[in-house]
Structure 1
Amino acid sequence: MQQIIKCGNITADTEQTIHTIRHDKLFVLTDEYTNRYCLPMIEGIPAIREAQQIVIPANDTNKTIENVIQVWRNLTQKGATRHSLLINLGGGMVTDLGGFAAATFKRGITYINIPTTLLGAVDAAVGGKTGVNFEGLKNEIGAFYPAEYVLIWSEFFRTLPQKEILSGFAEMIKHALIHSQLDLEKLLTFSANDIDYAWLNDMVHRSVSIKEAIVEKDPFEKNIRKALNLGHTVGHAFESFAIEAGKPVPHGYAVAWGLIAELYLSHRLCDFPKEKVQKTVRFLQANYGALPIGCDDYEALFKIMQHDKKNEAGVINFTLLSDIGNVKIDQNADKELIFEALDFYRDSVGL
């Protein structure tokens, strides 16, 4: 089972974790940014200094099969074996892509995730989902293959711009919605303009523990793990739509907008309380702005939703709520109601 370590000293904890895992060669995967700004924070470790380095382009638009091939090629050319160890040092793109490369190279090698973004810490690096985008669709190719260890060090978050903090925070809001009113109330007090990093650190580990408990019960998303898809059917459609338009948006922002639409569906289909929709939507609207879409874009968004991995027998599946902490998986909405939810999103964000 994946082990999550709350780091007090990133150098000591990384070194100890490396020594815990038997391996013949060590490889470190970074993107252009984490190679420059985050790798130096752990380069004092002799094993890291001696490791083979693999660097890929940054940003989610580069989460592609071509860059997985680049990682495979580096591993092959630099002598990796089935007993080698890969460290993914980066945000969600690096941990998703690196995890998929590890899952498939020589039918699977061991890897460690060290997320450097809030989104990576609370979402991508934890839970074992790996993958890349393909043909304009989010995470279309991938595998369930968890990291042996995930090392979370909150000091990385202090280097992030506000937009990156908010991107990760949207996933924390989702975790709170599927878990408890108390967790949600705490998060809705957050101010992105005056960040209390000690408080944020505590909330991050609380959020990770919520996800971890769900994944432990259902590692391959056959049942309750589908709870983690709240906001993602519409959110992934928004994200893919933006990528296709050449104007990519942060994953967490797309999830925030997806939550707005899916809370509306929760109200219509599962009687989720209207006042709780309004309170959560006010926070999301105030912090995440809007993806500019018009009614003419609904058909394209609907078509993207038809490719969602959660679908069965051609029916679009949603994870919805009847109340905070009361999850309803495998919910269906017809096209007309989905378009209503997109109307509600546009009205809520002022489009």
Structure 2
Amino acid sequence: MIFSVIIPCYNCVKTLERTVESIRVCGLSDYEILLIDDGSNDGTAELCDTLCVRYPELRCVHQENAGVSTARNRGINEAQGEYLWFVDADDIVSPLNMESILKAIQDGVDCIMFGMRFRYVHHGKVIMRETMSCGNPVELTQQNLGSHFRALFEKNYFTAIWNKLIRKSVLTENQIYFDPTLTNYEDLHFSLILADCCKTILALPEPYYCYVNEFGHDRTVDRIQRICDVIAYTDKIVAPFYTLNGHLCGAGCLPIEGLSEIILRLYLEASYFKLKTANNNDMKRLCTAVQQSKNLHKEVQSIEKLSVADQRLYGWMMNNSYGKIRLFMRYRALRSIGSRVYRLVKCYLGG
């Protein structure tokens, strides 16, 4: 068997069948769709069983609720395909160019990455669309990964897990699994460890994966609110960056261009999302953590390459300028509301 499509399923009874249908007609051959029911209680478990009876290429595994990372790890262990594709139960996929994909598989490529489309909906109506693509195919090895990494990172090729066909043996031989303790950026963490173990990666420009989300609902904010110390948490996320870059440099390969800027942005993004709902005590703890962060101090020489807003936020946190931080967050909140209202009005009025 060539492909195993792994779908973690938790309370997705309204969207799962649409996701499965998009996979069945995307052009895959010699494949299975593996449904990992993660203790659903809304009828998803029963739907999984129904779909498995209807379609012989589907298999289902039921487990107690343990989170998406544990469900994906179960999928890795259960999968029979040579290449794995992780798909979420509320997204859809587009028809594939199987000729280029099968050629890459015949050439022994460890990981095939592709572009993504983003669809933001409001009460069933598409409000906003976005596409991220590398533009042209890019063949990556350890020798040139550092020079191409930043451009691909900014196009979401490394931050998501859904836009990859991964040779299973790379995961099993290197014991690469999702970290169940991570609730945000777990895909990035996994992808960086994966990239470090791949001899060859092919990045394709076609946006085969479509991420569907409710307009105005940022899941990242919800997840970060549940993290007590976002700076310590981000330390864990960025650790594979340093490992990957160290291995590249140690092998005489090019280092990751713009690494300092990437890491700084991750810390400041986590801080910004945490500040969205932070009370005074939360803000003080966050500023103290920023001031004590070894990684931030190590990369701060690149702060001037970031946006003016990022530079100011960092400076205010370093100087305990709580009043300026509050005003900045209120301004950003109002601007975000205005942007959402504008897009909604434009969409519903047909502009």
Q: Which category describes the TM-score, using the shorter chain as reference length?
A: 0.3 to 0.5
Higher relative contact order (CA 8 A, sep 6+): 2
Tell me which structure has the larger Cα radius of gyration.
2
Relative to the length of structure 2, the TM-score reads 0.36
Name the one with the larger helix percent.
1
